Every structure is written in C-alpha cells, then in structure tokens.
Amino acid sequence: MTQMQPFIARRKLFSEKMQNGVAIIPTAPERIRNRDAHYPYRFDSYFYYLTGFREPEAVLVIIAATGQEPAKHILFCREKNLEREIWDGYRFGPDAAKEVFGFDEAYPLAKLDELLPVLLSDQLAVYTALGQDPNWDQRVTGWLNRVRDLARTGVTAPREIYDYRTILDEMRLIKSTGELQIMQRAADISAQAHQRAMQAVRPGMREYEIEAELLHTFVRHGAQAPAYTSIVAGGANACILHYVQNDAELKSGDLLLIDAGCELSGYASDITRTFPVNGKFTPAQRDVYQLVLSAQAAAIAEVKPGSRWNDPHQAALQVLAQGFIDLGLCRGSVDEVLESEDYKRFYMHRTGHWLGMDVHDVGEYKQQGEWRELQPGMVLTVEPGCYIRPADNVSEHLWNIGIRIEDDVVVTPAGHELLTEAAPKTTVAIEELMQ
C-alpha cells in the first residue's frame, strides 16, 4: 500500500478540486493490430496517474465529498478468470484491486452500466472527457438519459458537464519528487542508448540497425517501451522532422540525427543527438552544429522560475538568426530576419514542449492570453535545430545538413537541472566517444 500512496493522494486532491459531482475516467482500450493480434497495451495516462492500475478494461469513478458524505473512490475492473489468466496473464479482480490500490469500493466491469446511473443520481455535475472517444461519449449520454428518465420519481440528473482534463492537466504539469526520480532514470537509460548508438554506428550500416541498438538498451535496462517512434535519420533524412522509415544506408561524410527516448513506469524521456556517421565532423557540419549548440545553451539559460514559456524559444531564435546570417543563409539584420520569419526556411518548429507521462505532455502554454510563467517541478524539452535542404541560394557545402539537439530540463527553485546531461553533445565529447 505504501507505493500506492502517491496515487491515493492524487485522487484525494482531485476530488477536492472537483468540489461536487462524479468523475468517470476510463483507461485506454486495447487496439487490434491485425486480425486477432493486438498492439502492445498502454494504459491511459489520466487513468494511471490517479490509480497506478495497468490492466485494460477498467474505469475509475470518483464521487466528490458532500456535507454529509466523504469522497469515494471506486474502481470497475475485470473479474478474476483463471482460464483467461492461463492465456493472458494475472488479473487482480475487484477484491484484490480494492485492497492493493487503496480504493473505497471495487466492482466487476460488467456492473458498470447497472451502477453508473445510480451513482449519477442526484449529483450536481459529471466530469468526463467529451470528444475523446465517440463510443465513450455515447455511453455517458446513455447513463445520463437513464437518470433523466427517473425524474418523475424525484431523482435529478447532473445539470453540468465538466472536462476532468482541465483539473488533471494542471496537476500533472507540476511533477513530484517521486515523478522526477522516475524521469531521471528514464533519461539515464535513454542517454545510455544514445551513447551506444554513437559507438555502434559505421558507414554502410542501415538506420534500422542503429534503431535496434536503441531498443536493446531501453529493454535491457528495464524500460517498458520507446516513449515514441524513434527517429534515426541519416544524411538528407535528418531534414525531415518526423522521419520514421529508418531504413536508409548510412554513408561516410553524412550526419546521423537520432531523436529517441524510452518510457519507464509511465513516464517519457526525449533526447535528440546529431553526430557524424564516420566519427568526424566536417568543417561545415561543425559550424552548423556549434550554432545549434549555442542556441540551445541560450535557451536553457532562460529555463528558471519566473521566465515565461516563450523566453527559451526567443533566446534560441536570436542566436540562430545571427548564425544564419553569418553562414550566408539569411540576409539583413537579426531583427529583419526575425520579423520577416526568413529563418523558418531552416528552423520551422518551436524550441520545446512539456514532458511527463506523455512525450508531448499536458498543460496549457498560455494563461489568459499570456505565455505562462515557469514554476519549479515543470519539465520541458529544449530542442533547437537547423535543417538545410538543397536550394539555388544555399551554398552546396551546406546541403542536407540536418541538426537537432534536445535535452530534458526540469525547473528548480534555483533555476534548472538537465535530466539528460549524460548524453554527450559537444563535438569534442562526441568524437572522443566515437573513436
């Protein structure tokens, strides 16, 4: 039960923020890959954040406290079934789930349609995630209509519908010490994977061979899965932001961009490193790489309490714009390049995103029209880049250079800490490791 205390505490806090009503939070459904084979199962992040329960076919119901009754946390899950457990593995069942995960009540999932109208009766509000799954929306509507049908008996249905994600997004945005410890471990595993890739790569290999090195390291150190589809992009492929084919030959003289991170205990890591396939940067590659690294350093320096979300991005843009001018990619002053957005030919994405249970994690980036202030416990990526495709007005020696450098950064009371510092990123450190 001790390891379940963080989940119990989150349910308690969430129920207090609800103020009234009933929240109904399902986990993710299993998905068919082809015929009767499923994709590897991954729980819904909101559901897991409040329960710690990893089985499919489960629903959490939280009833807010009233003046007479305390809050109640109820789990609906699969029943024990020894025959199915022979085929598919252990199931907790309602009784064990109630005991192990600290719920007030637990019932078989088969009773959900029977009990939900009862639980919704005479409640002021229902908290659900409308629009996320049409089939789920239909079930919630059905339960509400069954309660409305009882109006002549004096029963009232919830009059208001709220999105529980509004509350949970803000809760998830600030990570606890325990969450940060998991994220640090995930980052350490991913850093080892990037080091292994740097040491393994040789001209003539295929991109998927390097992807295999990443996956080997993830699993060997206990990560459950990649946090997202790994990008292993050699040469011109590095100029495709979401390249995932990972099947081209790696050639001497080209760069290899790897954007890959593992998921550990429900939390993501996200690292990008770019390095030469043959272990030695060319002068042009080194110049562009140093520019991106300087832009990242300027951005990371802006990660601190009181900074606005957009400050790291703006700091990176200042450095990149000047660098693009120096390289002959853009013309004019820094202000002119920024105002005209000419830089977007070579840097077209933003400099980061929230990171947590989802690789692009939850949380608003603006509040009341203003970029939100960074607070201790927030975790974000910092990932400037430069992508130079062949063009008549671009020097040929710069063609097909694609570079991105990404780290995971936690905001601390004193400033920031890099979770992914173990992954080499200076040209000297990379070349030494690759030798």
Q: Would you please indicate which residues are annotated as catalytic (active-site) residues? A: 36, 242, 259, 270, 349, 353, 360, 383, 387, 404, 406
Alpha helices for 159-242 (secondary structure H): 164-173, 177-200, 207-220
* Cβ atoms < 10 Å from Cβ of 385: 27
Query: DSSP for 89-128?
Result: ----HHHHHHHHHT-SEEEEGGGHHHHHHHHHTT-SEEEE
- Quote the tokens at residue 395: 């020097």
Label each residue of 147-158 as H, E or C: HHCCHHHCCCCC
Bridge partners (DSSP) of residue 406 are 272
Shortest CA distance to 259 belongs to which of 274, 248, 281, 279? 274
CB contact at 8 A, 347 and 385: yes
Please give the C-alpha separations between residue 97 and each of 29, 52, 116, 393, in angstroms, as whole numbers. 19, 10, 19, 64
Instruction: Look up residue 343 and give its DSSP letter.
Output: G
Distance CA 42, CA 265 (A): 11
Three-state DSSP at 354 gives strand
CB contact at 8 A, 194 and 423: yes
| Residues constituting the chain | 435
- Quote the tokens at residue 269: 């890591």
Distance CA 18, CA 11 (A): 10
Residue indicated by tokens 């710069």: 398
Give the angle subtended at the CA of 15 by the CAs of 65 and 30, to the nearest 5°. Answer: 125
44, amino acid identity: D
Q: In the chain, what are the helix, strand and coil shares in percent, each to the nearest 5?
A: 40, 20, 40
